[in-house]
Amino acid sequence: MARTRVVIDTDPGVDDAIAILVALASPELDVVALTTVAGNVDLERTTRNARRLVELSGRSDVVVAAGCAAPLAGVAVHASEVHGNDGLGDLEWDEPSVPLAKEHAVEVLRSLIEEEPLTIVAIGPLTNLALLLELYPDVERRVERVVIMGGASFEGNVTPAAEFNIWFDPEAAERVFAAAWPITLMPLDLTHQAMFNDADLAYLRELGSDVGRRCAAMLEPYAAHHDQWYGQRDIIMHDATAVYELIEPGAITTQAVSVTVETGGQYSRGATWINRRRSQVDGRVRVGLSLDNELFVARLRERLATYPTP
Ligand code: BDR
Ligand code: CA
């Protein structure tokens, strides 16, 4: 089977954690690095979390490299009320022994792009990718595809207009969407169809593996947050949709669009302007429209069940 070589650019993040653990357990993917960015929590925490996850998965061959600590403009506003103070639901962890790359995430990305075809799965703010484009503009013609979780057509989750990953760094997102690389975007309109419920948490707990137990424990406060926020405990698995797109090609229906980002706006900073008019799209950017949640959940369960029990 031809494996897709990927780097996951991430701000773990509870839903990032599930996405990463699913990716690392998927034979369709060759995950070569996790590059971290500030977002859900600060860079120090997202980077420590990436190292924790690599260690938990037993995949210490995966490079972890730290990237940008702040958005291109403005100040960082994190989401620890959603993901916990540490970004992973505040569980107890041993200090990870997995090393941190000496190079900046952008340099690691650049080297990996030069070596062999690479797909980037971007599930945090897009600051690292914007810096990559600024320093090495040729990458926009070399990267195979960028699969992004971010944005919304109809309703944001930080403001009525803006979704977190884009809202955190709209200037970076504007540059990423303006570049020539092929993009598949998973906006909130799609991710709100991808849910885990209490039965899925129980399933994970009963797997008897460290991964299963930790996933359930991380997701528990996240479910409580959903209850407070949306009035139901079903968990929106935002970031895992980007991985699902790669491990199950065609399972997410997509549409050609063009995307621009609001960087001004009295109320709408960080909004994604997803234009679906056929005459105004060039086929470079596609947006995820729908998925079958039963199939999605079954695939995630299956992959998370492959981790060993003690
Ligand atoms: C996105 O924002 C973060 O809180 C999640 O990890 C996800 O990447 C959803 O809006
Ligand atoms: Ca994320």
pLDDT value of position 228: 86
pLDDT value of position 125: 98
Catalytically annotated residues:
238
Average pLDDT over residues 254-276: 96
Atom of ligand 1 nearest to the CA of 236: 9
d(CA 31, CA 244): 14
CA 150 to centroid of ligand 2, rounded, Å? 9
At residue 115 the predicted structure's pLDDT band, cuts being 50, 70 and 90, is very high
pLDDT value of position 133: 98
Top mutation candidate among 21, 41, 86, 123 for ligand 1, by most atoms within 8 Å of CB = 123
Per-residue H/E/C for the chain: CCCEEEEEEECCCHHHHHHHHHHHCCCCEEEEEEEECCCCCCHHHHHHHHHHHHHHHCCCCCEEEECCCCCCCCCCCCCHHHHCCCCCCCCCCCCCCCCCCCCCHHHHHHHHHHHCCCEEEECCCCHHHHHHHHHCCCHHHHCCEEEEECCCCCCCCCCCCECHHHHHCHHHHHHHHHCCCCEEEECHHHHCCCEECHHHHHHHHHCCCHHHHHHHHHHHHHHHHHHHHHCCCCEECCCHHHHHHHHCCCCCEEEEEEEEECCCCCCCCCEEEEECCHHHCCCCEEEEEECCHHHHHHHHHHHHCCCCCC
pLDDT value of position 77: 85
Using a pLDDT cut of 90, give the percent of the chain over it. Answer: 89
Q: Which residue has better confidence, 227 or 199?
A: 199
45-61 confidence digits (pLDDT tens): 999 999 999 999 999 99
pLDDT value of position 283: 87
pLDDT value of position 213: 97
d(CA 30, CA 180): 24
For the segment(s) 4-304, the CATH number from 3.50.50.60, 3.90.245.10, 1.10.287.90, 3.40.50.2300 is 3.90.245.10
Q: How far out from the chain centre does Cα 27 lie?
A: 19
At residue 276 the predicted structure's pLDDT band, cuts being 50, 70 and 90, is very high
Average pLDDT, the chain: 96
At residue 91 the predicted structure's pLDDT band, cuts being 50, 70 and 90, is very high
User: For residue 91, how many C-alpha atoms fall within 13 Å in the half-sphere facing its CB?
Assistant: 22
Atom of ligand 1 nearest to the CA of 83: 4
pLDDT value of position 207: 97
The answer to which of 72-86, 144-158, 269-283 has the lowest mean pLDDT is 72-86
Top mutation candidate among 239, 241, 244 for ligand 1, by most atoms within 8 Å of CB = 239
pLDDT exceeds 90 at position 97: yes
Average pLDDT over residues 100-113: 98
Average pLDDT over residues 262-277: 95
CA 279 to centroid of ligand 2, rounded, Å? 32
Ligand 1 pocket, residues with Cβ under 6 angstroms: 13, 15-16, 40, 79, 82, 123, 149, 157, 163-165, 238-239
pLDDT value of position 230: 86
Atom of ligand 1 nearest to the CA of 14: 6
pLDDT value of position 75: 87
pLDDT value of position 243: 98
185-205 confidence digits (pLDDT tens): 999 999 999 999 999 999 999
Q: Which residue has better confidence, 255 or 232?
A: 255
